[in-house]
Amino acid sequence: MIPYSFPNLQIIVLAAGQGTRMRSAKPKVLHQILGKSMLEHVLCSLEGLNARGLSIVLGHGAEVVQSVVSEKHYVTWVTQEEQLGTGHAVQQCSHVCESADHVLIVCGDTPLLRTGTLAALVRAHLDAASDISFLSAIQPVPQGYGRVCRSEAGDIRQIVEERDATDAQRMIQEVSSGIFCVRKSVLFDCLKAVDNGNDQGEYYLPGIVPVALQRGHRVDAVLMDDVDEMLGVNDRTQLRQATKILQNRIVEDWEKAGVSIEQPETVRIDVSVHLGMDTVIRAGSQLLGHTHIGDGCDIGPYAVIDRAWVDDGAKVLAFSHVQEAHVSMSSEVGPYARLRPQAHLDEGVKIGNFVEVKKSVIGQNSKVNHLSYIGDAEVGKNCNIGAGTITCNYDGANKHKTVVGDNVFVGSDTKLIAPVEVGSGATIGAGSIITRNVAEGGLTLTVRPEQRYVKDWKRATKN
């Protein structure tokens, strides 16, 4: 990313609205898109500008928004006690803009904005010595946006909100994004003259445009290259649309980086995911949170990897679930396996069908191939854990640990009643119930019931 620096710029993010069309108790800007809230997407793009300061205007759900954002981003907060429109919201920010020369105003529900697009607006504003600059776009179907009204000579006259526009104005295809860069002195002076004589009875920020023009100030529109970036999310349909656009971007970026993604329309890849070169992501897979996938991995189909680390050359096969776990190089998981938090597989480990591993370390080149549960355990190198083996780690009140040495063979359907240790080189016979420590080497098994045969016995039949 090109480094930007705007030391005389103060940024204001408008995030006070309730978002009633979302039909949610959650503040609108906290609804997530691919692992981040809409507001966090906006903040990440804005932080790349390296401005003097960044402030967020809060209203509905202010405490919740602060609790989510404060841990991750350095911002100052401004409260809009009454939601009287975007112009009124900006007026509340005069004190945070005192040391700036220019102010960039962005909406908190525009998660598709790129840093480069915002930088282009600010740079054009500064280079042209404009008093007001805003991002506009040509929309073939301009529904939902304010129209940019121009004179016959092409000069900007005003921005009319759709609900207040005439039929002729609604035919205009140039629309405003609602994103403004304004000279500070002009901004707060013109806001004083904006009235609320509109359908909503609100003070709209675009109202500064005709006021500024009347006072002889320069107003410019900067056309956006990608109209998708201006999409504001006001309901769940638009949330879905924004998610689809962002996912397409992510897929294309990873494809350019050497990742193969099969049937990408079925795949979810969050914004915080890292993928290595020559990795294949198969249909239906979901890569969530801060997941890291190394080079040359094979994922899916229909695998879910959530905040996990998968090293080079590993495979997570069909319908497997890996959550907050570590899969080392050349290991294989699945199909139909589950790694729960704090599971760690060393190099070359095989976790097979319907195996669950929780809070356990499985040593190098060991195998747990079928129908087993390994919890709160340490398993050494080169072990073979037979089908149906269970580490019985819970006594109804507390969890206990199982420790298995190197080169151990555990026969099928064995129960290891923790706390218990199995020495290196030991073999445990199938069907054993192990309640005491097992010595190194040799064969350990529990006494099995006598096998009986009843001659001439017949199964019951249905009437």
- Residue range 185-235, pLDDT digits in tens: 999 999 999 998 887 888 999 999 999 999 999 999 999 999 999 999 999
Q: Is 230 helix (H, G, I), strand (E, B) or coil?
A: helix
Question: Two tokens at 332?
Answer: 């294989």
Of 118-122, 180-184, 358-362, 448-452, the poorest mean pLDDT is in: 448-452
Q: Residue 451 — pLDDT band, cuts 50, 70, 90?
A: confident
Known catalytic residue at 370: yes
CA 404, 408, 412 angle in degrees (round to 5)?
A: 95
Q: In this model, does residue 54 exceed pLDDT 80? A: yes
Residue 234 is predicted with a pLDDT of: 92
What is the model's pLDDT at position 18? 81
Q: In this structure, which amino acid lies at residue 171?
A: M
Average pLDDT rounded to a whole number, residues 433-446: 96
Whether pLDDT at 269 is above 80: yes
* C-alpha to C-alpha distance for 23 and 20, rounded to whole angstroms: 6
Q: Which helix (DSSP H) or strand (DSSP E) does residue 457 occupy?
A: none
pLDDT at 102: 98
**231 and 246 Cβ atoms separated by less than 8 Å:** no
Q: Classify 83 as helix, strand or coil.
A: coil
In contact, 429 and 423? CB cutoff 8 Å = no
In this predicted structure, the answer to whether residue 156 has a pLDDT above a threshold of 80 is: yes
Nearest by Cα to 145 from 72, 221, 216: 221
Q: Is 162 left (phi over 0), alpha (psi -120 to 50) or beta?
A: alpha
Q: What is the rounded (10 degree) CA torsion for 230, 236, 237, 239?
A: 40
**Where are the alpha helices (H) located in 33-171, listed in sequence order?**
38-47, 62-69, 86-91, 115-127, 167-170
pLDDT at 197: 85
User: What DSSP element (H or E) covers 236?
Assistant: helix 236-256
pLDDT at 1: 59
E strand segments, 337-388? 338-339, 344-345, 350-353, 356-358, 361-362, 367-370, 373-375, 377-379, 384-385
Residue 221: other Cβ atoms inside 10 A: 22
Q: Which of 172, 181, 206 is nearest to 191 (CA)?
A: 206
Q: What is the pLDDT of residue 383?
A: 98
In this prediction, residues 36-63 reach a mean pLDDT of: 95
d(C-alpha 188, C-alpha 205), whole Å = 11
For residues 154-179, average pLDDT: 92
Report the predicted TM-score, pTM, of the whole model to 2 decimal places.
0.91
pLDDT tens across 324-349, in order? 999 999 999 999 999 999 999 999 99
Number of helices (H), then strands (E), in the chain: 8, 41
Of 54-58, 152-156, 302-306, the poorest mean pLDDT is in 152-156
Q: Which of 73, 292, 370, 400 is catalytic?
A: 370
Residues 357, 338: contact at Cβ < 8 Å? yes
Mean pLDDT of 112-125: 97
At 214 the three-state DSSP class reads helix
Q: What percentage of the chain exceeds 90 in pLDDT?
A: 88
Distance CA 92, CA 81 (A): 9
- Please report the pLDDT score of residue 337 as a whole number: 98
Q: Is 407 strand, coil or helix?
A: coil
Inter-CA distances, 362 with 9, 203, 282, 366, 367, Å: 53, 63, 26, 7, 8
For 137, residues 6+ apart whose C-beta sits below 8 A from its C-beta are 174, 175, 177, 223, 224, 227, 230
Q: Given this model, what pLDDT does residue 6 score?
A: 97
Q: Does the pLDDT at position 182 exceed 70? A: yes
pLDDT digits (tens, 9 = 90+) for 367-392: 999 999 999 999 999 999 999 999 99
Residue 437 pLDDT > 90, yes or no? yes
Q: Tell me, what DSSP letter sits at residue 263?
A: S
Under the banding of pLDDT at 50, 70 and 90, the label for residue 429 is very high
